[in-house]
Amino acid sequence: MFNKFINGLIFGSGFAIAFTIIAYLGLTFLTNVKFNEQSHSVSRSSATTKTPPQQHIKAPIPFHELSLEDKIKASSVIALMRYEKSPNGESKTIIKEFLKKEKNTTIYYKVGDEYKNSHYPKSQKLYGDGVITFFQGSPAKMRFSTTYHGDRIGGLSDLPIELLREKCK
């Protein structure tokens, strides 16, 4: 008699567990279907009513796609850096001048410092004489960089460095 009771208890427990799992899966499925139907009905009802269309929020233009004037306006610091060879033969990127530096902008470099965030490995052949780097915010973070050769900035349509200096003032 007691053995029959234990067998019934085990059978009932297994049945309860199976029923709970099936009920959970069924409710999850029905809840998702119902939610999706509501979202479709809302979009259909808004299409049939005379409500104005929602304004689309434009994503900001990536910094590298801005015009030169907009890059200058958006930058808190613009640095002119020159590649120099160290005595051990490695190349370094040295900050030579700040073409633009807004008041109260924190930048963790000064003229004469090595800019260690340069994308050129120290042993790689360098293309150009240096880089122009645009920083944004405070503390200033690098947003755009382009090389120059001689007095021309290749990545800015061969713009003369002197003209960039004037535009930064």
pLDDT by residue, tens only, the chain of 169 residues: 778 778 887 888 887 888 788 877 777 766 765 555 554 444 444 445 555 566 677 778 888 899 999 999 999 999 999 988 878 777 889 999 999 999 999 999 999 999 986 555 555 666 789 999 999 999 999 999 999 999 999 889 999 999 999 999 8
Distance CA 95, CA 75 (A): 17
Residues contacting residue 145 through CB under 8 Å, at least 6 positions apart: 119, 131, 132, 133, 134
Tell me, yes or no, whether 44 and 103 share the same domain. Answer: no
Tell me, yes or no, whether 84 and 148 share the same domain. Answer: yes
Domain that holds residue 160: 68-168
Number of domains forming the structure of the chain: 2
Distance CA 79, CA 47 (A): 52
pLDDT reported for residue 46: 47
Residue 62 lies in a domain: no
Q: Phi and psi at residue 150, in whole multiples of 5°?
A: 65, -125
